[in-house]
C-alpha cells in the first residue's frame, strides 16, 4: 500500500511512518520542520526514516500548494495526517499558528484527498476536545462541545470538517483522539521529557494543579498499533445511525472517531515516582495551581476501538518510562 504521512519529523508521525516502512509500505512523508521545539531532534527522526529505500521525504508545510503536486505524483491509497501545531499552552500565546496549521492545513489535506480520490483519510485528533467534560471515562459517543483551548478547538474543527467531506464526497475518514502519548523520540514539551531532563540536571520541576492531575498515559507503540489498525479498516456507513438521536462518533456517511488511550489513568505524582525510581534520583518539585486551558483528569473509554479494530494496549507505564529513559540517555549521551 502507498501511504502519504504528514508530520513525519514529529513524534507520532515519525513513529507511525517507521512501522509502516518496516511492514513494507511505500511511504512519502512531509513535514515543515518548524522550530516549536528542537529542530535537531526532528532532523534525526527523518534521518532514521531516510535509511529505508521505500521512503521519500519532502520538507513542506501541509497548507502549501506543492503538497497537491506531491500527492498527484505519488497517488497514495491512504493519507495519514499527523502534522499539526501541537501544545495546549502555546495555543494560548499564539492562537493564529493553530488556525494556519491545524485548520487551513487540514482543509488542504481534505481537498487533496477528494481530488485524488483516496480510499481512506486517517487523521489525528486529541483527548483535549473533551474540554470541560468531567464524565469519566471519556466516550466518543458523548458530544465534545466545550473545548478549553484553541488547540482543542482546532482538533474538534478537524473532526467536523472531515464529516462534511465524508458526507459530500463520500470520503472515508477516521479521526483518532490521542491520549497523552509518551515514549522514545518523544516531544521535549511533554511532561516525561521535561521531568527527565530537569531531574538529571538537578533542576526543579513544575507540577501544576498541585500534583492532583491524572492522565491516561499511552505508550507510543500502542498508539502506532491503533493507527495502523485504523488504516487497514476504512469506515463504512452506519446503517443504524439516526438523526433523531445522533451518535457523534459515527454517521450515515463513511465517518468514524475513536479514542486511542491506555484505558487506565495514572496519577501524575505516581508517574513522577516511577521516573525517580528509574533515574535513581528524587525530584525537587514546585507545586503550582491549575493552568488555564488544562484539564485535571483524562480517562479514555477504549471499548469502541477494541471492539472494531482489535486494539489492545500492552505497555505498562513503568515499562514505558523505562524504555523512554533508556532512549533519552542513549540519545543525549547521559
CA 148 centroid distance within chain: 18
Beta carbons within 10 angstroms of residue 239's beta carbon: 6
Pair 239, 290: CB distance under 8 Å? no
Sign of CA dihedral 183, 188, 189, 194: positive
Q: Dmax over Cα atoms in the chain, in whole Å?
A: 59
Phi, psi of 129 (to 5 degrees): -65, -20
Match 502555546 to its residue by C-alpha cell. Answer: 90
Q: In terms of Cα–Cα distance, which of 144, 136, 149, 178 is closest to 160?
A: 144
As a whole number of angstroms, the distance between CA 157 and CA 177 comes to 13
As a whole number of angstroms, the distance between CA 52 and CA 252 comes to 40
Active site residues: 151
Secondary structure class of 181 (helix, strand, coil): strand
What are the distances in angstroms from CA 164 to CA 114, 134, 160, 167, 169?
12, 28, 6, 5, 8
Q: In terms of Cα–Cα distance, which of 87, 127, 313, 91 is closest to 222?
A: 313
Amino acid at each position: 500500500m502507498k501511504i502519504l504521512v504528514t508530520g513525519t519529523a514529529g513524534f507520532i508521525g515519525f513513529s507511525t511512518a517507521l512501522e509502516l516502512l518496516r511492514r513494507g509500505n511505500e511511504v512519502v512523508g512531509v513535514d515543515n520542520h518548524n522550530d516549536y521545539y528542537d529542530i535537531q531532534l526532528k532532523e534525526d527522526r527523518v534521518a532514521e526514516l531516510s535509511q529505508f529505500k521505500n521512503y521519500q521525504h519532502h520538507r513542506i508545510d501541509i497548507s502549501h500548494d506543492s503538497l497537491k503536486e506531491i500527492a498527484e505524483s505519488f497517488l497514495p491509497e491512504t493519507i495519514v495526517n499527523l502534522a499539526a501545531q501541537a501544545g495546549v499552552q502555546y495555543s494560548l500565546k499564539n492562537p493564529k499558528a493553530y488556525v494556519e496549521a491545524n485548520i487551513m492545513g487540514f482543509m488542504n489535506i481534505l481537498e487533496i484527498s477528494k481530488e485524488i480520490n483516496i480510499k481512506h483519510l486517517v487523521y489525528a485528533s486529541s483527548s483535549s476536545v473533551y474540554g470541560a467534560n468531567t464524565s469519566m471515562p471519556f466516550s466518543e459517543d458523548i458530544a465534545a462541545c466545550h473545548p478549553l483551548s484553541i488547540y482543542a478547538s482546532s482538533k474538534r474543527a478537524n473532526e467536523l470538517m472531515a464529516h462534511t467531506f465524508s458526507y459530500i464526497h463520500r470520503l472515508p475518514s477516521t479521526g483518532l483522539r490521542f491520549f497523552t502519548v509518551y515514549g522514545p523520540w518523544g516531544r521535549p514539551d511533554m511532561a516525561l521529557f521535561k521531568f527527565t531532563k530537569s531531574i538529571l540536571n538537578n533542576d526543579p520541576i513544575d507540577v501544576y494543579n498541585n500534583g492532583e492531575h491524572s492522565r491516561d498515559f499511552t505508550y507510543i507503540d500502542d498508539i502506532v498499533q491503533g493507527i495502523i489498525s485504523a488504516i487497514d479498516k476504512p469506515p463504512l456507513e452506519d446503517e443504524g445511525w439516526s438523526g433523531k438521536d445522533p451518535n457523534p462518533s459515527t454517521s450515515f456517511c463513511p465517518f468514524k472517531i475513536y479514542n486511542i488511550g491506555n484505558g487506565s489513568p495514572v496519577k501524575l505524582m505516581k508517574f513522577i515516582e516511577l521516573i525517580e525510581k528509574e533515574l535513581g534520583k528524587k525530584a525537587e518539585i514546585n507545586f503550582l495551581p491549575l493552568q488555564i486551558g488544562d484539564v485535571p483528569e483524562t480517562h479514555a473509554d477504549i471499548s469502541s476501538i477494541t471492539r472494531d479494530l482489535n486494539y489492545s494496549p500492552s505497555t505498562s507505564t513503568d515499562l514505558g518510562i523505562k524504555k523512554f529513559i533508556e532512549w533519552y540517555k542513549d540519545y543525549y549521551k547521559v
